[in-house]
Structure 1
């Protein structure tokens, strides 16, 4: 909005200043030069007895202050400053005087701020002409420039205030959308601004409400499914506990108990994956402390884990959910490797702050062509897992507004790289 306004004002000033002002300036200087040339010619051609009458009539009729010095000669013209704001006007007057008379002359623009003095060398002496500067200026220019610049500033101020309100509403909508994408629900935003911006805010509030309602309904449904699935498993485990024991049936009972354990583990893993841990509210937490807690538990389980972290790194987290994600990554690494290394690094990229967490191991790793498939549920299961660890970890990290990538580790195995917004 401001750029076209500035361009229009610049074009108008250029056209007026470059066209109209030049024409007016040439006409005014030509008029003054004609008067001076006319008087100088009369003083040079008329008898000496007529000179007082010529000066008297010229003073009265032409509005000039005239004087004549018989027999005088022009000296060195007065010096001019290096920079003169009146230089274009002075050049116009000089050109006009040269066109209208053949006498030598000079013009003094410095002695008097209200007038200029033109001295003309005639054959009989020097004619001095003192003319008011207002004869060479037009006040229309100043009125026009004041009106143009003043109206432009006024309209620009109104436009800036109006656009500031509209941009503030759009910025708030963008911030709310970004916060919701990072899992930081702040409730519905207040619609404000232009009609289109308010409509977008209402649509965002409706979308946010539908998504949250869907998540809540899914969580409630999964809680019911969890209860329904655990009830028959509990009855089966109770039936096995009451089953008569004998050397012939002990092996079968042990196998059934193992199958029940596997079923319970799969049900819990599936429910955790489907729930996505979104019911936990984000809160400022120290990522370094969280990583050290997870590493301490892994070491108690017999894992060899190396840690490289800064002193402190606080960011909005769902601590329980992120612990589950890191625990899944450490469990995967511990099952397939002997050594594990965890690093936490703060980053600045594209004007945003990130916390980068890497989990490296010296295991067999995953081929590059199969790393995308490893995140699919149940695709990477083994005899000791359900194939949901990486899927749950990525779901939790993305709920934080970050992402997780699998890469080749410097230790020879697999590297899991997590990025979380600070």
Structure 2
């Protein structure tokens, strides 16, 4: 045997042990908090129950059983000492009056040779006491009457029947203890559930507000509440929301201002070029000016995409129909498949601009366009396919970068100024969704838009 084998199996890595434990833990904070509260209570009650049954129950049951067995042994001893009818009648009457035991003698009867099996803790304890105190054959019947036990003892001239009330053999503290344990546990669980729900509710509201902010929705009615730590997190969230809104507003105003200011010198340049007349150099300058105008329009479109348009319940089917109709008027061949009613919170103009950019991009590089929209679980998916040259797999993330252009047959994949797909993804992500690219079954590019409902 090698040293490694003798050492036994290696212990599980810490990460594996942690993962094993996590499989049995609740996944929610509410469930884990209840486990933290309930587990010590269950352990404490288990210990208390063990102590009760090991000490109180055993001790009390033994004492009660031996007391009854002692009374029966005393009756047998007196009957054997004075077997006359007068002495027997006096003993039976005195026993019934002073011990609560109803004793009768059945002359000539005998017990079965085989003793019935004793069942239950009480019968076994009483049987043990009778063996030690009476030293005679006996039988115990627990079904003779409600709340009564019959103990039959074999005598030389018959059978001694002793009827003992249940209270002589059983202490009601057991029921009281069980009711107390169950009742206190139910009260504790109820209080814990109510308390934990109240503590977790502000956390759920904070999570819902963060999710709404990520989807571009308004969270104006949100306010900090709950425990101090939750209030601190909520206050940090509100400050973050204000910073995000301020940064978006500043960037929007800056882009709009720069783009607007650049139009004036471009207009003067165009007028100057018109006055120069015709010529190859003038045509090249005119091309450069036209390209600069296109870039400025892209700046303005990008700025509008980051604007402060309000989110409102919007019928996406209507926006798709309008956008597709506009693409068809520009000469595109578009096939549209969509469900009848797909209403969700959107910024209508921004979403219309996003879809128009994608259709314009597909129209420039393909002969036909296929648009499909449907609900899938908790989201809506929009597919835009074309039969153009597509985009290489390694460049599908690069085309979302502002002003990026491909050096291929699809070198205008991002639009005239390189902002088409950038604006589209920016709009979709501001709604909490995303845009991904893949190969189209029609041979070109597939654009997948996924929007949360």
- Answering whether residue 343 of structure 2 is matched by residue 318 of structure 1, we say no
- TM-fit CA distance, 1:321: 0.9
1:20 equivalent among 52, 56, 62: 56
- For 2:221 and 2:242, how far apart are their aligned partners in 1? 8
1:173 equivalent among 201, 206, 211: 206
2:69 equivalent among 2, 25, 33: 33
* Aligned residue in 2 for 1:415: 446
Decide which moves more: 125-134 or 381-390.
Answer: 381-390
- TM-fit CA distance, 1:102: 4.3
- Answering whether residue 123 of structure 2 is matched by residue 90 of structure 1, we say yes
- TM-fit CA distance, 1:64: 2.2
> Per-residue CA shift, 1:402-422, capped at 9, x if unaligned?
011111111111111110001
- For 1:395 and 1:270, how far apart are their aligned partners in 2? 13
SS at match of 2:234: helix
- TM-fit CA distance, 1:173: 0.6
2:426 equivalent among 380, 395, 405: 395
**Is contact 1:40–1:120 with CA below 8 Å preserved after alignment?**
no
Q: Which aligned pairs between 1:202-221 and structure 2 lie closer than 5 A?
A: 202-221=235-254
* Aligned residue in 1 for 2:228: 195
Q: Structure 2 unaligned runs (5+)?
A: 1-36
- For 2:340 and 2:127, how far apart are their aligned partners in 1? 79
User: Aligned in 2, Cα 1:152/1:380: closer, same or farther, shift over 3 Å?
Assistant: same
SS at match of 2:288: helix
* Aligned residue in 1 for 2:308: 279
* Aligned residue in 2 for 1:297: 326
User: Aligned in 2, Cα 1:15/1:231: closer, same or farther, shift over 3 Å?
Assistant: farther
* Aligned residue in 2 for 1:370: 395
Aligned residues: 409
**Is contact 1:44–1:122 with CA below 8 Å preserved after alignment?**
no
- For 1:194 and 1:202, how far apart are their aligned partners in 2? 12
* Aligned residue in 2 for 1:51: 88
> Per-residue CA shift, 1:86-137, capped at 9, x if unaligned?
9432333234334444433333333432432222221111212122211122
Alpha-carbon RMSD: 2.8
Q: Structure 1 unaligned runs (5+)?
A: none
2:261 equivalent among 213, 228, 231: 228
Decide which moves more: 95-104 or 307-316.
Answer: 95-104
Question: What TM-score do you get using the length of structure 1 for normalisation?
Answer: 0.87
- For 1:398 and 1:104, how far apart are their aligned partners in 2? 89
- For 2:157 and 2:80, how far apart are their aligned partners in 1? 7
Question: What TM-score do you get using the length of structure 2 for normalisation?
Answer: 0.82
**Is contact 2:323–2:356 with CA below 8 Å preserved after alignment?**
yes
1:356 equivalent among 373, 376, 381: 381
SS at match of 1:110: strand
User: Aligned in 2, Cα 1:252/1:192: closer, same or farther, shift over 3 Å?
Assistant: same
- For 1:19 and 1:356, how far apart are their aligned partners in 2? 68
